Chains A and B, each alone.
Chain A
Amino acid sequence: MKTITMNLKKSLLFAGGLLLAGQSLQAAGADDPIRTMLLMDKFEILDNDDNSREWEGSFYVGYDLDKLYIYSQGAATSDGLERSQNDLVYSRAIAPFWDIQAGIAYDKNSDASKTWGEIAIAGLAPYFFETRAALLLNGDGNVGLRLEGEYEALITQKLILTPSIEADFYTKDDPVMQIGSGLSAMEAGLRLRYEFVREFAPYIGVTWEKTFGNTRDFNPVDETSLLAGIRFWF
């Protein structure tokens, strides 16, 4: 939890700095003023053995077509950080619904870390699927592919059900990072949130996580957990 707080503090500080910079540049009536957005999409406690806390969020600063993005997701228990995946990418719109992104990714677990070069495609697929596919390359020759997809189904105007799915693949084993070649891990979730206002929505949900192949040998996971959390942005 401490690490999360620290991480959050750091990113808030960064966000705050850019926010101020952004507003001073913002002229009234400007077509494309610089703007920032911090979205904490998931910020939750799981009802599993170690009551892990998980987060997934993004921050951007930029314009209609060009943005600088920070993505961060991970989990922590009372013993500290379990794992996190972080990305810093420059994002450029290439089509009405699609951005191409390039930058670096930084993975961390309790006792090791790994940095990747990253190229990704993010955007809204037909049928309103919010998607992101990232290709990761590391100096040691390992190649990773991380896929994410999410859908928002409106039960009412404020009650929103969000199924999501994530899958990670790698070409090589990396025991220190607890990843194995092939399909390494999958996570599927279903979250039901209530938007008191657009910017603030508590939710409950269920998530299923599983590791596969060699990853299973390093880090066997197969669990379904109930969860509660809040989603917010500003």
Chain B
Amino acid sequence: MTATQAQAQGTLEAVAARIRSHVVDMCAGPEGGHLGGAFSCADVLTALYFSVLNVDPERPDDPDRDRFLLSKGHAAVGLYATLAERGFFPVAELASYGRPGSRLMGHPVRAVPGVEMPTGSLGHGLALACGFALANRYAGRDARSFVLLGDGELQEGSVWEAAIAAASLRLDRLVAVVDRNGLQLTGATERIAPMEPLADRWRSFGWAVRDVDGHDPAALADHLSAAPWEPGRPSVLITRTVKGQGLPFLAGRAASHYVTLSERNHARAMAALRPKDTDG
């Protein structure tokens, strides 16, 4: 299935809605899941997998593929839903998430088709993606390397080690996305470890920076497709997002970070995700 065919399955908004509904189902399973951070990046994942990335579920190890890493690995439920919707494995397998014997662990592992590297301990993804980008450059491949970082994750010093290296090596086929939802496990990132002005920080490290709405998948796709935005500089897209976006009883709340949805809240969530217009 090509990206064009995948997109033909529906608008990017519709895909994102399906991804969110899968996440809700998984978070109603026995172990729950990181719903809030999966919802905040669902539109980015949609844009990447249904418009931007050159990947083929039939040939997941194609050396010329674009590579994507979910550095904020706790949003695994969002990645699993996206990979399944994109055809890397059957959507039905999502029901095994969190159940004994499943390969769908709470953080992504290589056993899951489409997952490039295991992630979850924060602050690893950008260095790995730098390695991908450098290897591609050496091999003369045009492929791009994408990495999605959490904003709380930016508190890890290793992120900035890698940011320095990427700029120093002029890795302009490297694209980072920051899921700037403003919340981490115990509260507001700005209360725990202020990071603003975030765009200036990245810019001062030598990156090309764009700071955008993170819930418009078509616009996100446009920005990501256009990277590199400045020759010789790696690109970072700071996406302003809402944790738990789309669920009135969880949106914008740190409590959405990790949830196990009760039957009642599962139903509430599914109702909230249902399209409001009934004319289709």
A binds B: no
Give me the interface of A with B, judged by CB distance under 8 Å: none
